[in-house]
Amino acid sequence: MFRFLYIIISLSFLINGCKENSKMNIDIENILNEFQNRKKYDHFTIKILNLIDDKNIEQALIDYIFEVAMADKSVADFDTLKSLSLGFQYHYATWVLEAEVNNGGFNQYFQNIGIQFIEKAIEGFGKYKAIKTKIIVAKAFEIYRKEIDLHKSVKEKGTMEKFLESFNVPELNKFDNEHYNSGDYISKLRVKYIRENLKEYIRK
């Protein structure tokens, strides 16, 4: 949800900002329309998973998690997630972390998501063999725990001013650029893991 909402917002912004370039505008509109009209699945078999190409399989799995596995939940919760296979747990935990950190850094991730999925994300990056990312996320989590009083204060105050102030804490924020420049191609590694462990994603 976080990632594909961010994609829609980003693409909409680009469409509105590129009126002078009609070809680019049309291309972006086509991408947005294709995304909004993507095929969704309420179950997976080996055959279905093999028919979904690498470009779309990550989104197909995240759609299933949100719209089927968590359909009756107002927010994602770990109890629901841990009822799924490890493959789905890794997929969701790493996907959401990437979406939040790429959008607003680790500070935003911890403010919006908290810590309920962080250990599963670290485990998932390890399973994907994204070792640099695993180390960076683990270090960021360690610093977050040291700064926990500050972050609790931000949540308790619940104001945008307090939230923005929390971005001035350099120790946690320094991991943002490390994450962006890790060199780990998470999407490629995640798809490789999916293809090698298809049985983890079978859902009747």
Convert the pLDDT of each residue in 28-46 to its tens digit: 787 888 888 899 999 999 9
User: 82-130 pLDDT, tens per residue?
Assistant: 899 999 999 999 999 999 999 999 988 998 898 999 999 999 999 999 9
* Exposed / middle / buried, residue 180 (Cβ in 10 Å: 0-12, 13-18, 19+): exposed
Would you state the pLDDT for residue 102?
93
Q: Which of 1-10, 40-49, 69-78, 143-152 has the lowest mean pLDDT?
A: 1-10
Would you state the pLDDT for residue 36?
87
CATH code 1.20.1420.60 region(s) in the chain: 45-199
Q: What is the mean pLDDT of residues 59-65?
A: 96
What is the rounded CA–CA span in Å between residue 45 and residue 190? 19
Longest Cα pair distance anywhere in the chain, in angstroms?
A: 51
**pLDDT above 80 for 81:** yes
Q: Residue 22, Cβ neighbours under 10 Å: how many?
A: 9
What is the rounded CA–CA span in Å between residue 147 and residue 151? 7
What's the pTM value of the predicted model, to 2 decimals?
Answer: 0.80
pLDDT band at 6 (very low <50, low <70, confident <90, very high): very low
Q: What is the CATH number of domain 45-199?
A: 1.20.1420.60
Q: What is the mean pLDDT of residues 178-190?
A: 95
CB 71 within 8 A of CB 203: no
